[in-house]
Amino acid sequence: MEPFPDLPTSESDCSLPSDDGPVLSDSDPLCAVRWGCSCKDGPCVSPQSSLETACKVLREGMSQCDAQQRRQRQWLLLREMRVSQKVPAGQYMIQGTPVCRKTWQKAHLIGSGTLKELAAAVNADGPPPDGRKKGLNCHHGASQLSTGQQDVNKFLFHAYSHWAMHVPTEDGSTMELSEPGALPLEVECDIPQDDDSQRTHEAELAEPVVGPETSGKLDSRRYLPHSSWQEFYEMYCNWSDSPVHKTSFRRQYLKSEFKNFLRIADASDHNKCQTCERLKALRKKAQCEVQLKQIQAAHANHVQSVMKDRSCDAQSEQLGRDSVGTTSTGSPLVTRQNAVLNWTQDAMDQAKFRVPRQIAQAKALAQAWRPQLAAHGLIFDGVPGGKFLFLVDQDIGKSANLQCSVTSRALQVVAERLVDRGVDLPMHFRCVSDNATAETKNNCFLKLLGVMVGRGNVTSAVLCQGRVGHTHNRQDASFSHVATVLSKAKVLQDPDEFKERIHQNLMDYHVERVHAVMDFQTWLMAVGTRITGLNQTKEATKKNLEACHSYKLVRRESLPPNFQAAIQVPDFLKGVEQNSRDVILLSKLYMASKNLSQAPIVFLPWAWLCKLSPRPCDIPIPRHKFSERQSKEFQKTAELMKQWDYMKAHNYLMELVINNRHGRADSWILPVIHWVFCGRRGHSVREDELGPQLDLGFAFTGPLEIAVVPETKRTSSAPAGSSVQGAPLGSAAIEKGCPPGQHAEAAPAAPRPAPGAVCFAAAPKAAAKRAPRAAAKTAGLVESDKKGVWILKPAV
């Protein structure tokens, strides 16, 4: 037998189909096989011939092998006959003598079904299939497919690795309770060389150790953004240099394993993207081929931009895992100066956390009012036990103070765990959040990151978000696993049982209850600056402007000379002395944008930042007061729980109502937080077919300009998250040492912003601003002053 390359050995791992033939022994009467056949030219095996002896010996040898060895020998002999001996398909030979298929099957002890599957694998020149319908020839890179099939598989794997997202589901049928909620991607880091807005001259991003092509494992289902099959095929056409026909593309997708692991999300799984929906509506109304191509090009550009954001996010996740990893000798994979701590955070739907939960479904209990716990999750890449879930009582509410508190607490735990492992906390932070203004995309959270940068806790900090309609990520998949765990519990009476349930079934989670929240908002207001244009507004949408989705904070000394020369200083900060520790804000329209949306701007001057108190006040902010109706209904539910002998639920509800009424409780203790404050010390068209060009400018939005303005005190409301009488006044009075109940003197009016700047602020009361606004309008400087928005323009 002539040897041939690339054959698996008995020690190699190969999965073969189940054996259709019986396992026979020498004593079995079925061993007396009749070798006659019904061929037209007579029997293939003559009685008492050398061929008959060879067939008997071959069959006896097959029967003495176990199932796995027999299937492997069958595949080897079939492959030798087809590849080495060049026997055409449909013909069979034993020792150089042609035989029919039935005779060949008898000699090799193989059934028709197994022979068919092995033949398909041999024809594809791939590994032997494992007995399932599709076999293993659909694995990318594992079989010698045609050029078009390989191209489709490469695209599907690229879409799975870089573009697909996790969509939360409720069934949890494919998830083991003890498994992590979401498996991270392994991708290569290929940040563009001119992407200066995401790195500094002394902190270059390191190349990841592991890339997406190294393993090729598909072990979790992911979803592409909601779209039609035609749009999915257009994505492939834009990606491939020589795309195959749509029918071939669909056939290869259905044959491959991506059919089960790469899906298109339903329209109900997430909010739709406004740009995508408008382009879809216009496509239906296209009047000619030119307009259709114009719309398709705009949609392809939009989808490609979204996919670049996802690819950039996946690369950052990989870099985050490498940054806290070590080699077998204990050496860090990434140097400390280049390491990045990457995390994702979001809040979960409160409907999953009604307390008590899964109580007997009596009619009286079904109508009972139950408070809702808020759940806030964070996932830190590469950190052992890096999944955090914080459970918060309903009366604490959602606010920037809560997000800053849970983030600071998570960073405290992460720092402690990395120290225990002998790993330094990375010098660069990157946070991926939702676009919710009330949670993370606000001045309070951005200033907290800026304070850590200015004080030297970190070298840089990035806050970024996906676009509206394209923001679902692994945090949502993690929430899905939590919801599944809770739905399978028989009874959950109080938050402690929620915590214990999650911890027992999802052991990689760090679950805590948050009883009190620090007043970060009042503390950070003393910095004296804030950002406008941080969030999307109706006025900006009308002007086809979009709020930026990526913000980076660095110290002035970390920027290269050409960036330092381009730094803009707001008018009210021009008299402040420059310092190398000034915090500079760089913004980009999207995560993967190569250029900055505007010149760098001074955000937190060190001359003001150094005067900030070391940490917020240790007094928790007051909780929201329940209404009279809420208190009564919760007390009714507590009495029902007592009648049903759910005493834990009864005690929790009564304590919640009583403590809320008093506004204090001994259990309302702030979480332990030190690190954040202490740090480290092709179609042709004739001219007569051309239609009018469509205005698709909405699909190519420009960045909304941001500006730094003086911080203003609050005189009409208590700190965020408080609706209780007697709450402290605005931070300006507190920082200036005024006694309680007395306001500080009004700050001098800020200089008028530069022409063309867009300033968003709350509409002033009474007529305090009426005269200046009227004068400005008369002078021709104000274009629109509705809803407190002033758009200044140069006077003619």
Task: Render pLDDT for 327-337 as a digit per residue (tens, 0 to 9).
Answer: 777 778 888 78
Tokens of 399: 């606010």
Summarize the confidence of residues 709-726 as an average pLDDT. 49
pLDDT at 188: 28
* Residue 655 pLDDT level (bands cut at 50, 70, 90): very high
Q: Is the pLDDT of residue 724 over 70?
A: no
Summarize the confidence of residues 141-160 as an average pLDDT. 77
Q: Is the pLDDT of residue 553 over 90?
A: yes
Higher pLDDT, 91 or 487: 91
* Residue 552 pLDDT level (bands cut at 50, 70, 90): very high
Higher pLDDT, 32 or 395: 395
* Residue 217 pLDDT level (bands cut at 50, 70, 90): low
pLDDT at 73: 81
Q: Are strands 509-514 and 387-392 parallel, antiparallel or unpaired?
A: parallel
Residue with the two structure tokens 């209850």: 513
pLDDT at 785: 40
Highest mean pLDDT among 139-148, 265-274, 280-289: 280-289
pLDDT at 714: 55
Higher pLDDT, 759 or 652: 652
Minimal CA–CA distance to 119: which of 74, 153, 150, 149? 74
* Residue 54 pLDDT level (bands cut at 50, 70, 90): confident
pLDDT at 267: 55
- The rounded percent of the chain whose pLDDT value lies above 70 is 68
Lowest mean pLDDT among 261-270, 353-362, 689-698: 689-698
Q: Is the pLDDT of residue 525 over 80?
A: yes
pLDDT at 360: 61
What residue type is assigned to position 456 of the chain? Answer: G
Summarize the confidence of residues 687-711 as an average pLDDT. 60
Distant-in-sequence, close-in-space partners of 445: CB < 8 Å, separation ≥ 6: 400, 403, 404, 407, 433, 439, 463
CB 172 within 8 A of CB 481: yes
Lowest mean pLDDT among 379-383, 495-499, 750-754: 750-754
Q: Is the pLDDT of residue 418 over 80?
A: yes
Lowest mean pLDDT among 73-87, 161-175, 425-439: 161-175
Highest mean pLDDT among 299-308, 381-390, 716-725: 381-390
Residues 327, 329, 334, 339: is their CA dihedral positive or negative? Answer: positive
Lowest mean pLDDT among 198-207, 635-644, 646-655: 198-207
pLDDT at 746: 45
What's the pLDDT tens digit per position in 102-139? 888 888 888 888 888 888 777 765 545 444 333 334 44
Element (H, E) at 112: helix 112-123
Determine the Cα–Cα distance for residues 603 and 711; give it in Å rounded to an integer.
Answer: 12
Determine the Cα–Cα distance for residues 607 and 595; give it in Å rounded to an integer.
Answer: 29
pLDDT at 484: 78
Q: Is the pLDDT of residue 720 over 70?
A: no
pLDDT at 91: 87
What's the whole-number average pLDDT of the chain? 72
Q: Is the pLDDT of residue 225 over 70?
A: no
Tokens of 152: 């489709």
Lowest mean pLDDT among 243-247, 310-314, 454-458, 535-539: 535-539
Q: Is 551 helix (H, G, I), strand (E, B) or coil?
A: strand
What's the pLDDT tens digit per position in 448-476? 999 999 998 899 999 998 777 666 666 66
Lowest mean pLDDT among 9-13, 359-363, 372-376, 421-425: 9-13
pLDDT at 179: 27
Summarize the confidence of residues 522-551 as an average pLDDT. 84
CB 517 within 8 A of CB 396: yes
Distant-in-sequence, close-in-space partners of 455: CB < 8 Å, separation ≥ 6: 609, 679
Q: Is the pLDDT of residue 220 over 70?
A: no
Summarize the confidence of residues 622-648 as an average pLDDT. 88
Summarize the confidence of residues 383-405 as an average pLDDT. 88
Determine the Cα–Cα distance for residues 624 and 722; give it in Å rounded to an integer.
Answer: 6
Q: Is the pLDDT of residue 213 over 70?
A: no
Residue 341 exposure: Cα atoms within 13 Å on the Cβ side: 25
Helix%, strand%, coil% for the chain, nearest 5: 40, 10, 50
Lowest mean pLDDT among 123-137, 147-161, 388-402: 123-137
pLDDT at 506: 84
Planar angle of CA 259, 263, 266, nearest 5 degrees: 145
Higher pLDDT, 330 or 422: 422
CB 185 within 8 A of CB 317: yes
pLDDT at 144: 65
Determine the Cα–Cα distance for residues 172 and 553; give it in Å rounded to an integer.
Answer: 39
Summarize the confidence of residues 302-314 as an average pLDDT. 81
Beta bridge partners of residue 380, listed in sequence order: 343
Determine the Cα–Cα distance for residues 583 and 553; give it in Å rounded to an integer.
Answer: 6
